[in-house]
Structure 1
Amino acid sequence: MYIAYFDEVKAMPQHGRNHYLVGGLAVPMERIGTLERAVTELSNEVFGTTDLTVDTEFHASYCYFGKGNFKGRPPAERIEIIARLARLIGEADGVKRVYAAIQRQKLYNEEQAAEFAFAHFVERMELAIPRAEPCILIGDLDDEQATNMVKDFSRFRQRGTPWAYGIELQSVVDSVHFCRSHHSRLLQLADIYMFIVSGRYGGRTGWMKEALGKALEGIDLYAHRYKEWPK
């Protein structure tokens, strides 16, 4: 059985990113404890505690930009933290990396970007999971999108993904569940992964981006399944 932890990254046209992304990590049940312990150990090293709170959350954008609980930490230290978390993702046996990126400005109705991104993500997650292995989705709670995702997923379960060549969902089961990211180390890893993925779609420039890119060299973060649409 797999648990898929996912997050969304909204488009920010004002900063040069026109894609709306949904993606994350599908983790085999037997690997969850190992990954949790690894992130918790890093939390104890960085924050001096293993408690799960807002103050001990590995929030990628806060870490990268030196905000929130990372305010005042040197850039090199913050980059190293992201790289260490990325290494955990890249070296985790059996973990599937999946995302969908929707280019808003090419849609007839840009407001549908979130709906399309989630649908393509669910479809690609279904394709990434080995047949006969069930998978449950857990997302970072966003009150704006949670209700829509639950409704959409229910429809996908009944009728398949909403395309002419859509697929039936057999592995991805139940409903969509949500949790605050500071309560889940695995959601924090999904946040780190999607922050790195979103960097490929614009929005960040300069020496900090170059430094992070260098720190990530040699780490396998290639997506097992992904979708970019429209082309």
Structure 2
Amino acid sequence: MHLIYIDESGNTGTRKDPDQPHHLIAGLIVPEEDIRNIEDAVDGIMRKHFAVQATSPDFELHGADLYSGNGAFRGVPPIDRIAAIHDTLDVLAGTGAKVVWASVDKIRMRSSWHPHQLAFLFLVERVEDYLRSQEARGLLIADECKEVEDRLIENLRQYKKSNTGWGWRPTPIKQIVDSIHFVQSKNNLLIQCVDLVAYFALKFYRQNVETFDTFMALPEPKPAYQDHIASRLTAKRKSVDEIGRKIQALTVVSKTYPT
């Protein structure tokens, strides 16, 4: 059995915010035998880097706060926050954990669905593909998302009953068992891990898109693309790039819509 922990980044509801154009859902797929080892290791990482804060019942590993130094991480030096992120991703890389993600461009999408529903559909298809390749079953566990929880439960029920029934590859859902279970992230370390994955997967994706777009806008003759990348790597962008590459190494499949 594999447990698939799900969280999103870039959620602005149905509002097409030009400052937050992408809605990304990530799934952290973990074989059941690795779950306790990851929990223990990540708990140790938090205690190592954040000492007393990590013992608080309200303490939570949260990608946005880790990056910005807000919330429980206010006053923590960037070097310690970045080290905690890398240590957590290294733990995941040392197990059988894998990442899948799906992103929807809210500005360009042509659908009446909530972006979260559409990204969830694409994520479910790719989780199903991975589980089939492993001849494994999987159970979905997601961070609370009150706005769409009932719709996602019903969507998954329909996908299992027939298929995903949308786009060019309607997929029968056979390997995902039961329903989708929603939990509070503060009570689940693996949900906190996928929060981190979703946040930085989206930042890395958007940074790469922006780098490519600015390169294409340059007049001829253009510099070598790698030189253009290097010229834009501020300390913050370099951190996102390094973290993003680790997530990329864990990722078995992804989907962007529209392509």
- Normalising by structure 2, we get a TM-score of 0.80
Amino acid at match of 2:31: P
1:194 aligns with 2:198: yes
Aligned residue for 2:148, secondary structure, equals helix
Q: Deviations over 1:18-42 (max 9, x none)?
A: 2111112110010101101101111
Q: 162-171 or 179-188: which moved more?
A: 162-171
1:128 corresponds in structure 2 to 130
Q: Deviations over 1:64-90 (max 9, x none)?
A: 101110001111111111111121222
Q: 2:65 aligns with which of 62, 65, 81?
A: 62
Counterparts of 2:146 and 2:38, CA distance in 1: 27
Counterparts of 1:215 and 1:112, CA distance in 2: 29
1:169 corresponds in structure 2 to 173
Amino acid at match of 1:165: R
Aligned pairs for 1:1-231 (under 5 A) are 1-11=1-11, 16-45=19-48, 46-48=50-52, 51=55, 53-55=57-59, 57-92=60-95, 94-109=96-111, 111-129=113-131, 130-163=133-166, 164-202=168-206, 207-214=235-242, 221-231=249-259
Query: Which structure would you say has the larger Rg?
Result: 2
Aligned residue for 1:101, secondary structure, equals strand
For the 8 Å contact 2:163–2:173, the answer to whether it is kept is: yes
Amino acid at match of 1:187: I
For the 8 Å contact 1:127–1:225, the answer to whether it is kept is: no
**Please, which runs of 5 or more residues in structure 2 have no aligned partner?**
211-232
Aligned residue for 1:133, secondary structure, equals coil
Q: Deviations over 1:11-61 (max 9, x none)?
A: 566574421111121100101011011011112222337757322x11111
* Identical amino acids, percent of aligned pairs: 24
For the 8 Å contact 2:18–2:107, the answer to whether it is kept is: no
Counterparts of 1:217 and 1:223, CA distance in 2: 10
**Please, which runs of 5 or more residues in structure 1 have no aligned partner?**
none
Deviation at 1:222, TM superposition (A): 4.1
Equivalenced residue count is 229
Higher relative contact order (Cα pairs below 8 Å, separated by 6+ residues): 1
For the 8 Å contact 1:41–1:50, the answer to whether it is kept is: no
CA spacing shift, 1:165–1:111, aligned 2, 3 Å: closer
Counterparts of 1:85 and 1:177, CA distance in 2: 24
For the 8 Å contact 2:204–2:240, the answer to whether it is kept is: no
Amino acid at match of 1:2: H
